[in-house]
Every structure is written in structure tokens, then in C-alpha cells.
Structure 1
Amino acid sequence: MSEMIRIRKVFFVWQEHLEEKWLTEMAAQGLHLQRVGFCVYDFKKGEPRDITYRLYSHVGFGRDVKACNRLFEDLGWEWLGSILSWQYFRKPHEEGKNDEILSDNQSKWEALKYWRNFTLAIGSLNLFNFLNISVFSSGLASWRSWGMDLFRLLILGLVGLLIYGAVKIQMRMNELKDSIL
């Protein structure tokens, strides 16, 4: 039986191209992705191979995702798993053939737009919560304790991280848009 190796690594939404590159490099070292989880990658040790990995974010639900996955499988891509809306595919690299799961960057741009809007919505809700417990709510705003101050600080930190994420996603969208035009 082949040896299984688990690697924990963090990639963010705007780093999908870096994650694809890393998975391809791992295959070149003989580590082939078997399962993917949240920040967890299970690899099977084998012979080094030239394999292309691609991620696709499908914003649909249920049958739409299954139909989309079947379409990609009909085009020669092997479906490996998913995290949230991100679908993981691979296929052996063929010299002179297109290694993109989608030939246009417009689809990638649309997926990133969805994640940017989702991030901004969650950030806005948390900003509202912060303002509510710090300014608007007379009972909570006047309540001073280290626990409440820590809670306010955590919410504000989360808002900052979400804004940072939205900006990074927008920067990646701008890169893709430049290649679309």
C-alpha cells in the first residue's frame, strides 16, 4: 500500500492560482492529491508525474454542481473533491494542449466577484455589530469590562481582516480583468 502524507497549508480565495501551482509542484515530487479538506491536503506517495491541477468555484447548488463536474470529467478532468464552492480537478499534462479548465478568465473573475461580495457582506454585518455594542446600544455601550472590550476588539479585528481579504480579492480580479481585455 502506498504511503499517505497529510500536509496542512493555508491558501486564501485570491491565491487560487498559487494553490494550483503548488499542487502541480507536489505531483512533480511524487505526491498526488487524494483528498482535500479545509487547509488539509492528503497526498499519496508515488512516481513523479506532470499533472495539472485546477480549481473551479461554482456558485450554483446541487444538480448544477454535479452537471458542471460531469462536463469537466467528460473533457478529461478528474474531480478530486470540494471545499465550499471550490471544486478540485486534475489531469495529466499534455504538451501542446490547453491546461485550463476554463478557457476564459471571465469565469474566474465572476467567481472571485462572488467571494468579494460575500466577504464585504460579512464584514458589513460585523461592523454593524461592532457599532451596535460600542455606540448605539445604551446598555452595551456603557458596559465596561475587560471581557466586553476584548469582544469589541475581536469584532473590529475580524472586520479589518475581512476588508483586507476583500481588497486582495479585488486586486486579483483586477489582474484577471487586465488579461480579459
Structure 2
Amino acid sequence: MTSRHIEGISIECVTGDIVDQPDMDAIVNAANAQLAPGGGVAGAIHRAAGPELARECAPLAPIRPGDAVITRGHDLPNAHVIHCLGPVYGVDEPADELLAACYRNALARAEETGLESVAFPSISTGAFGYPVEAAAGIAVGTVVDAAATLDTVRRVRFVLHSESDLGIYVRALEQWAFT
């Protein structure tokens, strides 16, 4: 695990499974517009949370790229799931602004709920085709920019699927000057 501190916030990068983060108040779902079970991160979260998650999500859908909504965690070890719809790379434009909005809006939902910790996957880098290096820079940069404005959130974790992605996120994190 790599960790840096800025403005009283711990920002961590780890490899692992997003549904196995029991020490976090919320995990973030790289959702589809309908907030339905699917493949990738969304499928894994819905399988782990159980069918009640889909029932709670249904009336909140559809969401647009950049949007974020929050639900309970149901059978997950986390109290909440924050669902974000990332942009499809090359389709949803401006992709960089929409991806940054995912992270900003997820942090806003966490703050509104009084959460202290949030774990993010690498949003939009799977089936949505966003290049990991570009996505990492946007993700880390957005969290760093938001750090000074956060009142309740004290810990943000990026949970990466591979050692390769971890290295990319760690390099993005190390580009920032932390105090």
C-alpha cells in the first residue's frame, strides 16, 4: 500500500477487490446508467451486496455520466455504496470533465452522509475504455483538489485490480507535493 497525506486526508493506493474493503464506510460502484447488476465492478458489487441493492437502486436510475447517488451497502461489510456513471471514452465528452465529476460527486455524497472513508475503483477504465494513465491522473488530481474542502471524509482509497494499475496510480499520487 502507498499512502500520502494532504490537508489532513489520507490518500491510499492498494491492489485488491473493491468488495473486500471492510474498513471503509463506503465503496464506489463504477455503475451503468440503470444502476443495474452487470459485468465488472458493478456485477461484483451487486453479487456481494445481494438483491436488495438492485431494488434500492431501481428508483434512482437512470443517472448521467458524472453523476453519483448513494445507497445502503446491504450484505457488503460497508454501510454504503456510492454509484457513479463514468464516461465511455471517445463517446461521452468532455470525458476528462465527466470523469472528474464522478470523483467530485462521489465525495459530495460521502460528505452529505457524514462518511469518513471511501474506496474507489478505477472508474471507466474497464469496458468504458478510458486509458488508465489518463484516468489515474484525473482521479488522483480531483481527490487532491477536493481535500481542502472535505469536512468528514478523512480517508480515500483507490483499489486497483492489477499491479500494473497500482503502479500507474502510485506514480500519479507521487506527482503531488504532500505535506
For normalisation by structure 1, the TM-score amounts to 0.29
Structure (1 or 2) with the larger CA radius of gyration = 1
- Highest RCO, 1 vs 2 (Cα 8 Å, sep ≥ 6): 2
Higher helix share: 1
